[in-house]
Amino acid sequence: MLLAKLLALMGAREEATNVNEHIVKSYEEELALLDKRIAQMGGLAEHNLGRAFSALDKHDPRLASQAIEADRAIDQLERDIENQVIVMIAKRQPMANDLRHIMTVLNIAGDLERIGDLGKNIAKRALAIAGEHHPKQLMAGLGHMAELAARQLKDVLDAFSAHDDQKALAVWRSDASLDALYNSVFRELLTYMMEDPRNISLCTHLLFGAKNIERIGDHTTNIAEKVHYLVTGRVLTEDREKSDDTSSVLLGKPATE
């Protein structure tokens, strides 16, 4: 198993060295800087999602404030990437895989910025409900969602940096499980609200929190699609299986088919 992995890794490296470096070294450095900035942005977004969820889970307003503050760095990185891409297009007139690389980076930066905002929004809600008591089991489903979303985000960023199409497609396909989790959290929260109207305020915040995580999953699949384009030069045309059916759920009625 380990040997197979090692061999696969060596194969991948051979593949990668098949494409030479640019004659102009500074071009190569600029591309590397773009990747580095995406990695930074992704790392921050992933970390901040964890922090925002912890703030929610542990009723920690200090952690929540940190998470809100940390989003600034993500926004700044997006602006840096945008500026760099504009200059590179003007200066290098990128072609073929370089062009796909640069455009993919620009798109991914946009998705990561949105992911950062969604994380910040969770932190804001954590701040709003920090004083409220919320039952442990309510948080379990949300916790699973946050964990899965963070893992997918990490996987898709790994897929980007390794130019690994298969890994990106695996993330793309597995968004369905995040949607399924969201469906069950949605129903659970509805039940709580129906049981006792005093839960409505808290549960609404948690519901938006869950929705935010679900949206993070959607941005992650966007990134997976971009990685696929980067690696293969082809655009995914297949519709991803949509499992979020909460938009058609009515109180006291089953979801319409």
Partner 1 sequence: MDATPIQTMQREVPTPATTMPIKVTARDVNVFYGDKHALKEVTVDIPDRGVMAFIGPSGCGKSTFLRCINRMNDTIPSCRVTGDIRIDGQDIHDPRLDVVQLRARVGMVFQKPNPFPKSIYENVAYGPRIHGLARSKSDLDEIVMTSLQKAGLLKEVQDRLGDPGTGLSGGQQQRLCIARAIAVSPEVILMDEPCSALDPIATAKIEELIDELRENFCIIIVTHSMQQAARVSQRTAFFHLGLMVEEGETTQIFTNPRDNRTLQYITGRFG
Tokens 């442990």 correspond to what residue?
136
- Written as six digits, the tokens of 26 are 């500074």
Counting contacts by CB under 8 A, is residue 100 touching partner 1?
Answer: yes
Phi (first) and psi of residue 101, to 5 degrees: -60, -50
Counting contacts by CB under 8 A, is residue 90 touching partner 1?
Answer: no
For residue 241, give the nearest of 210, 217, 208, 223 by alpha carbon: 217
Report the alpha-carbon distance of residue 3 to residue 5 in Å, rounded: 5
We find the least distance from the C-beta atom of residue 101 to partner 1, in angstroms, to be: 10
Counting contacts by CB under 8 A, is residue 169 touching partner 1?
Answer: yes
We find the least distance from the C-beta atom of residue 235 to partner 1, in angstroms, to be: 5
Report the alpha-carbon distance of residue 220 to residue 216 in Å, rounded: 6
Q: What is the dihedral of CA 110, 112, 117, 123, to 10 degrees?
A: 180
Nearer to partner 1, 99 or 130 (CB): 99
Selected from 137, 166, 247, 256, the binder of partner 1 by CB under 8 A is: 166
Stretch that binds partner 1, among 116-124, 165-173, 195-203, 212-220 (CB under 8 A): 165-173
Report the alpha-carbon distance of residue 223 to residue 237 in Å, rounded: 15
Let me know the angle formed at the C-alpha of 219 by 217 and 225, rounded to the nearest 5 degrees: 105
Counting contacts by CB under 8 A, is residue 29 touching partner 1?
Answer: no
Selected from 8, 12, 24, 194, the binder of partner 1 by CB under 8 A is: 24
Nearer to partner 1, 21 or 69 (CB): 21
Report the alpha-carbon distance of residue 78 to residue 60 in Å, rounded: 28
Counting contacts by CB under 8 A, is residue 17 touching partner 1?
Answer: no
Neighbouring residues of 156: CB distance < 8 A, sequence distance ≥ 6: 167, 168, 171, 220, 223, 224, 227
Tokens 């793309």 correspond to what residue?
172
Stretch that binds partner 1, among 16-24, 77-85, 147-155, 185-193 (CB under 8 A): 16-24
Selected from 184, 232, 242, 248, the binder of partner 1 by CB under 8 A is: 232
What is the CB-side half-sphere exposure of residue 54 using CA atoms within 13 A? 13
Nearer to partner 1, 39 or 169 (CB): 169
Counting contacts by CB under 8 A, is residue 94 touching partner 1?
Answer: yes
Stretch that binds partner 1, among 15-23, 143-151, 198-206, 211-219 (CB under 8 A): 15-23
String of contacts with partner 1 for each residue 185-224, x by CB under 8 A: ----------------------------------------
Counting contacts by CB under 8 A, is residue 95 touching partner 1?
Answer: yes
Q: How many residues bind partner 1 (CB under 8 A)?
A: 28
Tokens 């992911």 correspond to what residue?
115
List interacting residues with partner 1 (CB under 8 A): 18-24, 27, 93-100, 166, 169-170, 173, 228, 232-238
